A and B are shown apart, each in its own frame.
Chain A
Amino acid sequence: MDYAIETDSLTKNYGGLIAVNNLNLKVQKNSIHGFLGPNGAGKTTTLKMLMGLLKPSKGSAKVLGREVHVDDANSRLKIGYMPELPKFPKHLKCIELLDIYGKMYNMTKQQRAEQIPKLINLVGLKGREKDYIGKYSKGMQQRIGIAQALLNNPELVILDEPSIGLDPVGMVEVRELIKEIAKDGRTVFLSSHLLFEVEQICDHVTIINKGSVLASDTVQTVSSMFIGPALIHLEIANLTNDVIFAVEKLPFVKKIYHEGIKLTVQVTSHDADVKVKVSKEITNAGGVIVGMSQKTSTLEDVFIQLIGGARTQ
């Protein structure tokens, strides 16, 4: 498979402290991949190694098929990177900064003239682009961070905690923006410590703690990895023994509970068609379903289990 990012035993030590430990990461092309972990898990250190800002103590990394080396300028031509809480020179105006960065990407004058206003508009800085960055709030600097990461029309966009420091409206806007970015066939790799953010935006996730990968797959697969049996809650107008017996016979049903018109079915399978099979069986047995819901596990459940498990080890 073609990967946008691939690491092999990537390790970073600071003296006795292991910031990243034998990290084997694979990010598929054209995916939105979340890099989830608590503060201090090694997310930013990993991203800095991918960007050639830090030299790995051990292991290697490939980005867009190219081996990463510290100070390999050309390897960054197709990558857009937004650091965590980015800082930009206060003495420059936003429009000047983007123009200079555009030149660093070898963009022609015409390309810059087309691209920069578009990006300023996109990140909501229209009308403030001629102000000195020194006058910008943290949130506005964050928006420049996103704009400069998209400047070169990158194949891969790496965002380090993109919504940190933003107000709730800004956070929603940034999430929508990230989804928009990925629509053009780009790969987006974003680090976050916000579970709901990853769950909302990403299709793939890697969970990291203390520099090591705890889980990595699609969000759906990871979400269903460590949970116990799922529960289906039903409300049946005429809950008869025939209905209960019919449901009990289903092979994936572990246990059932009933009280009044309420029926709770504990199932061992997490397949999407479980609900369909249960409702079909109830209808065939003469039951009338008036309400149905299924408690599925969330990424948060998995995250808590994984991080909690790692902490007790």
Chain B
Amino acid sequence: MKYDNEQQTQESSRGSVSWFRRFMAVVHYEMLWNIRKKKFIGVIAFAFLISSIGLVLPFILGDVIPQNAHFAITYGADSLSLFLFALVIAMNSMSSEFESGTIVPLLTKPVSRTTVFLGKLFAAFIVLLISFTVLFTYTTVGSIFVFGAQSDLGLLPVVLFGNIISAFIWVSMLLAMGTITKNTILTVIIAAGLFISLFMALPIVSVLSGPSTALNYFPGTGATGTLITADNSEFSVNAGTDSLGVNMVYALLYPGQNVNFFKTDIWSIQIGDQTLPAMELLYTESIGFIALRGLVIALAYIVVFLLIGWLAFKKTQINE
């Protein structure tokens, strides 16, 4: 065996170029893993199914289909979809490397742990971006057929960006958990437990004590309010991180408009034999502020989780 060593040594000495090549090698490694996961393919298929149902449901139910020029940009991904996408992309990105022992050959290559971590993160971002782009394109084309010509399609990238940020809270959380636990099942249990708890607890808290602003500081739907536009149209708005994409679109479409948050007192009003809920205005926030706050909270979660994951990965001892 004779190898040409000289050229390789010269290449190795070019720091920044070589770092980028190594980084892209990790991205390639991770992306091939992501797109070949059966779970990922399953979730993509499921997401297409849900989107299709959303589009064809009015036909199935025999409803009169109203003109909706903003369907494409306001038909955002729901909390469950965001979580599921994040879950299938990131749940075993770190943990299964430890579980299967593939971490050993990987970390004995000339790639730093930071490069590996960043590579995996970037690959998750790319896969999420491609998945959401394909889905958004499908939904947009479908909505043109169902609801007629769509307005403000230029805002689609904003929704896309918002949804990726929303999903990335869970991606970064899963990466951190996977690195700390080194166990996929445990990672999924913790993440799903947290998601389900927040998914169920926050609406209950919201009903019982009103849509407090505190709800917006947890990942999820947050407080629910009503956006009233200049032409007196009303939209239900969730102020949490999950609705970041749609809220940014509302902020751009209806700048300066307020969202009213009401507390529903379900025991208070008695009409005849019936008790009707009473609505009490708790507070008002501008849609721009809600979108900005959601973005800041989401980014804060992402940064904190990623820092935890990165530090854990840097410190971990490879006993596998």
Interfacial residues, chain A to chain B (CB-CB below 8 A): 48, 51-55, 71-77, 79, 81, 83, 85-92, 96, 100-101, 103-108, 111, 114-115, 118, 122, 145, 148, 150, 152-153, 180-181, 184
CA distance A85 to B102 in the complex (A): 11
| In the complex, B22 has a CB within 8 A of chain A | yes
Chain B residues, CB < 8 A from A111: 4, 7-8
* Closest Cβ–Cβ distance, residue A119 to chain B (whole Å): 8
The residue in chain A whose Cβ has the minimal distance to the Cβ of B319 is A54
**Inter-subunit contact B108/A71 (CB<8 Å):** no
**Inter-subunit contact B317/A54 (CB<8 Å):** yes
* Contact flags B1-24 to A (C-beta < 8 A → 1, else 0): 111110110011010001001101
A91/B36 contact (C-beta < 8 A), A106-B8, A111-B7 known: yes
| In the complex, B107 has a CB within 8 A of chain A | yes
**Inter-subunit contact B105/A83 (CB<8 Å):** yes
Chain B residues, CB < 8 A from A150: 1
Other-chain residue from A48, A87, A101 in contact with B109 (beta carbon distance below 8 A): A101
**Inter-subunit contact B109/A105 (CB<8 Å):** yes
**Inter-subunit contact B110/A76 (CB<8 Å):** yes
| In the complex, B206 has a CB within 8 A of chain A | no
Pick the interface stretch among B75-83, B111-119, B192-200, B213-221. B111-119
CA distance A298 to B69 in the complex (A): 87
**Inter-subunit contact B3/A153 (CB<8 Å):** yes
* Closest Cβ–Cβ distance, residue B10 to chain A (whole Å): 10
| In the complex, B101 has a CB within 8 A of chain A | yes
A106/B22 contact (C-beta < 8 A), A88-B102, A153-B3 known: yes
The residue in chain B whose Cβ has the minimal distance to the Cβ of A55 is B317
Other-chain residue from B3, B8, B113 in contact with A71 (beta carbon distance below 8 A): B113
Chain A residues, CB < 8 A from B11: 106-108
Interfacial residues, chain B to chain A (CB-CB below 8 A): 1-5, 7-8, 11-12, 14, 18, 21-22, 24-26, 28-29, 32-33, 36-37, 100-102, 104-105, 107-115, 314, 317-319
Chain B residues, CB < 8 A from A118: 1
**Inter-subunit contact B1/A180 (CB<8 Å):** yes
CA distance A71 to B5 in the complex (A): 24
A104/B112 contact (C-beta < 8 A), A48-B318, A87-B102, A89-B102 known: no
* Closest Cβ–Cβ distance, residue A77 to chain B (whole Å): 5
The residue in chain A whose Cβ has the minimal distance to the Cβ of B5 is A153
Chain B residues, CB < 8 A from A107: 8, 11
A89/B108 contact (C-beta < 8 A), A55-B317, A184-B1 known: no
**Inter-subunit contact A54/B110 (CB<8 Å):** no
Of A51, A53, A104, A152, most B-chain CB atoms within 10 Å: A104
Chain B residues, CB < 8 A from A73: 22, 110-112, 115
Chain A residues, CB < 8 A from B25: 100-101, 103-104
8 nearest A-B residue pairs (beta carbon): A153-B3, A103-B25, A53-B318, A87-B101, A73-B112, A104-B109, A81-B108, A91-B36
CA distance A96 to B33 in the complex (A): 12
CA distance A115 to B2 in the complex (A): 9
CA distance A86 to B109 in the complex (A): 14
CA distance A48 to B107 in the complex (A): 11
The residue in chain B whose Cβ has the minimal distance to the Cβ of A153 is B3
A103/B24 contact (C-beta < 8 A), A71-B314, A150-B1, A153-B3 known: yes
The residue in chain B whose Cβ has the minimal distance to the Cβ of A80 is B108
CA distance A250 to B32 in the complex (A): 74
CA distance A92 to B21 in the complex (A): 19
Other-chain residue from B1, B18, B102, B112 in contact with A122 (beta carbon distance below 8 A): B1
Chain A residues, CB < 8 A from B319: 48, 54
**Inter-subunit contact A91/B22 (CB<8 Å):** no
Of B1, B2, B18, most A-chain CB atoms within 10 Å: B1
Chain A residues, CB < 8 A from B4: 111, 114, 153
A104/B33 contact (C-beta < 8 A), A111-B4, A180-B1 known: no
CA distance A77 to B18 in the complex (A): 11
CA distance A180 to B110 in the complex (A): 25
**Inter-subunit contact B32/A152 (CB<8 Å):** no
Chain B residues, CB < 8 A from A108: 7-8, 11
Chain B residues, CB < 8 A from A74: 12, 110
The residue in chain A whose Cβ has the minimal distance to the Cβ of B38 is A91
**Inter-subunit contact A86/B104 (CB<8 Å):** yes
**Inter-subunit contact B21/A106 (CB<8 Å):** yes
**Inter-subunit contact A53/B37 (CB<8 Å):** no
Other-chain residue from A87, A103, A114 in contact with B21 (beta carbon distance below 8 A): A103
The residue in chain A whose Cβ has the minimal distance to the Cβ of B26 is A104
A54/B33 contact (C-beta < 8 A), A89-B102, A100-B25, A104-B25 known: no
**Inter-subunit contact A91/B32 (CB<8 Å):** yes
CA distance A6 to B37 in the complex (A): 43
CA distance A81 to B100 in the complex (A): 18
Chain B residues, CB < 8 A from A79: 108
Can you list 6 A-B contacts (CB < 8 A)? A52-B107, A72-B112, A76-B109, A91-B32, A106-B12, A150-B1
Of B4, B22, B101, B104, most A-chain CB atoms within 10 Å: B104
Of B36, B109, B318, most A-chain CB atoms within 10 Å: B109
